[in-house]
């Protein structure tokens, strides 16, 4: 019944990027415009208005004008945003410098393009300087991106290429099997609910359902209703004795293993039967033992390559994506 699909070559991709207040290019241009309007404004320690700025007060003032709230101090501002290499700086990115009037991160400014930045300085007030300036260049400490452009399908700001689940998350998201969140974030550590698990699996399996209301707490108009019905009819995710499905209940890692095992018949594979995979916290008498061992034996991401499985903890989006991706790879062609 299950034919392995080559996810990376699907023609239709689904990716959730919505709700941005304005195009990022507009925000960047506006930040640079507002910053330049303050050229020549005097320096004042603790200043946050055009009558006098210190460096962090100037940055905070400019970003506040485009509706982006930043912390007050330079050190706090340095903890925000996404780190950016110097060569990748875009207009509107923050730039930080160290060891100026004190040790550590001590000066902030706004990159405006052409290897230049604008900041409130003690000597010239708000002024433009070159990143290659003999004073500033050796003190450069890093750049931070506050205004984030949407990334291409399959890429997320919080899942970099070094992440063990990167390929699984990227391929599944490009195939429309698991979506991201607004602003190109995946949120890999969020737990997965029973309803979400049903939807993610059925986006791949595409199983039909003869009824869309098999549970008292799943209405016809509810998100994932058809997926929940399909999973129930296939015996992959069943309900409770009280006739409820509880779609918003988080699943544990042990429950995840059983669900994915049922969906892909992992533990019935001859290759799995002879595996030596094991966990020190899962004994052969545990109710989910065969499924958990199957998850580890088929894992191609390294996410489950550990000595303990921690089956009673909640399954995260990273866990679920890794397990589903590995199961797809292990399925017969």
* CATH class for the region spanning 24-145: alpha beta
pLDDT class of 252 with cuts at 50, 70, 90: very high
Domain boundaries defined on the chain: 24-145, 166-192+250-330
Q: 68-87 in b/e burial notation, b at 16+ Cβ within 10 A?
A: bebeebbeebbeebeebeee
Element (H, E) at 201: helix 194-205
pLDDT of residue 24: 57
Which residue carries 């359902």 as its tokens? Answer: 209
State both tokens at 104: 């550590």
What pLDDT band is residue 243 in, cutting at 50, 70 and 90?
A: very high
pLDDT at 172: 98
Q: What is the pLDDT of residues 311-328, one digit of tens each?
A: 999 999 999 999 999 999
Q: Cα 162 from chain centroid?
A: 13
pLDDT per residue as tens digits for the range 45-81: 999 999 999 999 999 999 999 999 999 999 999 999 9
Secondary structure of residue 36 in the 3-state scheme: helix
Q: Do the beta carbons of residue 41 and residue 52 sit within 8 Å?
A: yes
Instruction: Pick the closest to residue 33 from 74, 92, 89 (CA basis).
Output: 92
For the chain, the average pLDDT equals 90
As a whole-number percent, the residues of the chain with pLDDT over 90 amount to 79
Average pLDDT, integer, range 258-276: 88
Name the CA dihedral angle for 278, 281, 284, 287, rounded to a multiple of 10 degrees: -120
| Residues 261-286, mean pLDDT to the nearest whole number | 90
Q: What pLDDT is recorded for position 25?
A: 59
Query: Is the pLDDT confidence value at 1 over 80?
Result: no
pLDDT at 333: 65
Nearest Cα residue to 304 out of 288, 293, 289, 290: 293
For the cut 60, the answer to whether the pLDDT of residue 9 exceeds it is: no
Burial of 157 (C-beta count, 10 Å sphere; 0-12/13-18/19+): middle
Spatial strand order in the sheet of 105-113: 82-84, 140-145, 94-98, 105-113, 116-121, 125-130
């Amino acid at each position: 019944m299950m034919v392995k699909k080559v996810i990376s070559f699907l023609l239709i991709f689904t990716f959730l990027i919505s709700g941005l207040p304005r195009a990022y290019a507009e925000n960047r241009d506006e930040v640079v415009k507002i910053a330049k309007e303050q050229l020549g404004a005097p320096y004042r320690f603790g200043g946050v208005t055009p009558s006098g700025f210190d460096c962090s007060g100037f940055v905070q003032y400019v970003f506040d004008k485009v509706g982006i709230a930043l912390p007050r101090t330079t050190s706090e501002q340095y903890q925000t945003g996404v780190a950016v290499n110097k060569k990748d700086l875009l207009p509107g990115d923050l730039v930080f410098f160290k060891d100026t009037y004190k040790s550590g991160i001590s000066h902030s400014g706004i990159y405006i393009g052409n290897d230049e930045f604008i900041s409130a300085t003690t000597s010239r007030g708000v002024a433009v300087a070159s990143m290659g300036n003999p004073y500033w260049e050796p003190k450069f400490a890093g750049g931070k991106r506050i205004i984030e452009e949407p990334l291409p399908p399959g890429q997320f700001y919080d899942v970099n290429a070094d992440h063990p689940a990167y390929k699984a998350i990227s391929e599944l998201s490009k195939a429309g099997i698991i979506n991201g969140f607004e602003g190109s974030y995946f949120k890999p550590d969020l737990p997965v609910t029973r309803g979400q698990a049903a939807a993610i699996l059925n986006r791949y399996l595409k199983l039909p359902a003869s009824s869309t209301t098999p549970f008292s707490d799943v209405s016809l108009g509810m998100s994932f209703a058809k997926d929940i019905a399909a999973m129930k009819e296939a015996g992959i995710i069943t309900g409770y004795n009280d006739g409820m499905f509880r779609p918003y209940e988080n699943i544990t890692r042990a429950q995840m293993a059983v669900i994915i095992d049922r969906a892909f018949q992992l533990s019935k594979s001859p290759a799995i039967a002879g595996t030596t995979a094991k966990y020190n916290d899962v004994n052969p008498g545990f109710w989910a033992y065969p499924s958990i061992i199957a998850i580890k034996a088929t894992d191609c991401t390294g996410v489950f390559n550990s000595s303990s499985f921690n089956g009673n903890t909640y399954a995260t989006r990273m866990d679920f994506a890794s397990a589903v991706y590995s199961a797809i790879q292990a399925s017969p062609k």
